[in-house]
Structure 1
């Protein structure tokens, strides 16, 4: 799959590294804040944690890897639209075939196992 041209955030690995560090620090701050402010309502803490996660997520998206991930997701969605999905009837038929083959293989393996147990029993009774 050929991806479109990926936008570069600032071209500087130092800026990217700084954004990743800040993003991780925000997530760590959310966890530590949740621990230290345990007396505050769980609803408020949850909203604050979700807010911090969203901020960290969008900051991470501004890095080169984040932008590459966004481009990959866009290209994947375009490829998904191109796929010809099976109808419900085809899906049910294939499911039944898989089920039947699974049952058949289980019976074959059970038969082989029974024969092996019988042969081992004969060999050990001597």
Structure 2
């Protein structure tokens, strides 16, 4: 199997954009608390606007673009999934319940057999 190598090229501009996005997140939290004497709606609007700016800056950097491409690929793959019909889902659920019942019965019989063998035969305890 071949292992494809992933090369990440991080330019100074990308590092600056990521730093700016981080600074905007910190500024959003700071603004929320510094505007403590203002109305709550004003504080929330300031927080949301600065967070939206941070997200916008992040998605202009290369890691943000890669994240967006990953999301698009994930949605594309999800559209390829073939979901089972209702009949198939009910059948498989029945098989699982039957298997669980049989396994529980097997484990109970095994437990009781070992209990009988250890306590009655080996130790000689009568319960």
The reply on whether 1:105 has 2:103 as its aligned counterpart is yes
> Does the CA-based 8 Å contact 2:31-2:46 persist in structure 1?
no
The reply on whether 1:39 has 2:37 as its aligned counterpart is yes
Residue by residue over 1:66-85, the C-alpha shift from the partner in whole angstroms, topping out at 9 and shown as x without a partner, is 11121122122222222222
Give the equivalent residue in structure 1 for 2:3: none
Give the equivalent residue in structure 1 for 2:27: 29
3-state secondary structure, aligned to 1:40: coil
- Greater gyration radius: 2
- Residues in 1 aligned to 2:38 and 2:97: alpha-carbon distance in whole angstroms: 53
5 Å-filtered alignment, 1:1-126, equals 13-119=11-117, 121-122=119-120
- TM-score (ref. length: structure 2): 0.69
- Residues in 1 aligned to 2:23 and 2:60: alpha-carbon distance in whole angstroms: 16
- TM-score (ref. length: structure 1): 0.70
**Relative contact order, higher structure (CA 8 A, sep 6+):** 1
- Residues in 1 aligned to 2:97 and 2:11: alpha-carbon distance in whole angstroms: 52
- Residues in 2 aligned to 1:82 and 1:54: alpha-carbon distance in whole angstroms: 32
Give the equivalent residue in structure 2 for 1:4: none
Aligned-residue Cα RMSD (Å) equals 2.6
Give the equivalent residue in structure 1 for 2:4: none
Residue by residue over 1:87-126, the C-alpha shift from the partner in whole angstroms, topping out at 9 and shown as x without a partner, is 2222232223223323433443344444445555455667
Structure 1 residue runs of 5 or longer lacking an equivalent are: 1-10
- Residues in 2 aligned to 1:74 and 1:111: alpha-carbon distance in whole angstroms: 52
